[in-house]
Amino acid sequence: MQVFNSSEISKLIRNRRSVFPAQYSGEVIKKEVIDEMLENANWAPTHKLTEPWRFTIFSGDGLKRLANLMSGLYKKVATEKGNFDRKKYEQLKIKPLQSSHIIAIGMKRDKLERLPEIEEIEAVACAVQNMYLTATAHGIGCYWGTGGITYFEEAKSYFDLEAKDKLLGFMFLGVPKGKLHNGRRKPIREKVNWIEK
Ligand SMILES: Cc1cc2nc3c(=O)[nH]c(=O)nc-3n(C[C@H](O)[C@H](O)[C@H](O)COP(=O)(O)O)c2cc1C
């Protein structure tokens, strides 16, 4: 079996950070990098090879369309529910325009429902991590956001998703303008049990 440079890979994994739109320089990411991220997403593990990840990519004027969709749909649904928050609404109008690209992240349910839903969501999360790491390798900043319209039933149809599918959020992408902050994690030993006898 082929062996890879595990110290480089460990460094990549541990240096990956979520980088937010306010930290983006405004530079547009090369399409080849986005293509590589998507190709690597496609190699995530997938039980029964259902390959449930679906992506819609917004760039250029597409970002304006997404900003209008996010803010407009949020306003409509939140007003109906009685929990409209104007600050959130304003953010939804601005944040997409600060990004180079945004990838809407969907889960397509297997037609035969051969797997529990959670396994399809887990596979998509693995695909998202592949994108995060590929972006990091290119010095690109990104983060997985699940706010706004993510869990609105009304949002699904805009991303080619049907009732049993799920919208799982948005990956915002941009070129970071400064140094990234350090990550924080509690030690792994607090989350692990070894059974040796
Ligand atoms: C499923 C998922 C959803 C997330 N949703 C949000 C979000 O809505 N807003 C946000 O600021 N960060 C979100 N994040 C990113 C986390 O804030 C981030 O991973 C955490 O702060 C740890 O930082 P790091 O990714 O730089 O290690 C999400 C992460 C995951 C895995």
In this prediction, residue 92 carries a pLDDT of 97
Pocket of ligand 1 (CB under 6 A): 17-18, 143-147, 169, 183
Model pLDDT, residue 134: 98
- pLDDT at residue 128, rounded to an integer: 99
Nearest partner of 152 among 93, 71, 54, 67, judged by Cα: 71
DSSP state of 163: T
CA–CA separation, 61 vs 16, rounded Å?
28
Q: How far is the CA of 21 from the centre of ligand 1 (A)?
A: 13
Q: How far is the CA of 130 from the centre of ligand 1 (A)?
A: 15
Q: What is the pLDDT along the chain (197 residues), one digit of tens a residue?
A: 999 999 999 999 999 999 999 999 999 999 999 999 999 999 999 999 999 999 999 999 999 999 999 999 999 999 999 999 999 999 999 999 999 999 999 999 999 999 999 999 999 999 999 999 999 999 999 999 999 999 999 999 999 999 999 999 999 999 999 899 999 999 999 999 999 99
CA of 145 to the centre of ligand 1 (A): 6
Helix intervals (H) in 25-154: 31-41, 61-81, 86-94, 117-137
CATH architecture of 19-177: 3-Layer(aba) Sandwich (3.40)
Residue with tokens 């030690």: 187
Nearest CA to ligand 1 atom 11: 145
d(CA 119, CA 52): 10
pLDDT of residue 188: 98
d(CA 106, CA 108): 6
